[in-house]
Amino acid sequence: MGGYSLGRRLAAEFIGTCLLLATVVGSGIMAERLAGGNAAIALLGNTIPTGAILYVLISIFAPVSGAHFNPVVTGAFSLIGDLRPRDGLSYILVQVAGAIAGVWLAHLMFDLPLLQVSTKVRFGAGQWVSEVVAAGGLLLTIFAALRSDPKAVPQAVSGYIVAAYWFTASTSFANPAVTVARALSNTFAGIRPLDVPAFIAAQSLGCILAVFLTRWLSAPLRAS
């Protein structure tokens, strides 16, 4: 990570995750207010800012912390040995804290009650399969971009998330910290707390599958 101290890396993860959630929740609130009841327009208004902020945040924070902003990304890099497990746990804790702070920041900006609990139901096999695909596809995108052209990671990740907002039934949470934090916002981007554990389990499965698939794809061919 370019020799940055753990404290600075954790600060980058906290700030980046906070701004990501402020964008996800804030743009969802704005989009719903302006869409006039059109769900497709509201989703589009939520998608574009999310993709844009991901590009910005990864570009500016990747040299400091790797710009994970996501426990499954941190977990994957810990599994492949690129991040010490102890540092990985610290990353995850500040990602969750930053995500919750970002939700509260969005509430403050839109004059909403700070403390909320979502009632938005996101339940069912389609939702869970979507989260396996969303998280697994995100990690495959990151690993492949790092291998082929590290400078392309911001574009690749933001492009994948923009697409996954629309091709997954769950609108691609793909992130346990995001999932936990969005349960604390009874807005367009929310998720009912009861549905959070299944989402996180699906995201974790996607992470494990992506790590194994990446290792298999990148393994050298044996001479016959």
pLDDT tens across 94-153, in order?
999 999 999 999 999 999 999 999 999 999 999 999 999 999 999 999 999 999 999 999
Domains of the chain: which residue ranges? 6-218
Domain 6-218 class, CATH top level: mainly alpha
pLDDT tens across 180-220, in order?
999 999 999 999 999 999 999 999 999 999 999 999 988 76
* pLDDT of 160 higher than 90: yes
For the chain, state the CA radius of gyration. 17
Handedness of CA 36, 128, 83, 105 (dihedral sign): positive
Alpha helices in the chain (DSSP H): 6-34, 39-65, 71-79, 85-109, 125-148, 153-167, 176-182, 196-218
Check: pTM over 0.85? Answer yes or no.
yes
One-letter amino acid of 24 = V
- DSSP secondary structure code for residue 222 in this structure: P
One-letter amino acid of 120 = K
List of residues 6+ apart from 150 with CB closer than 8 A: none
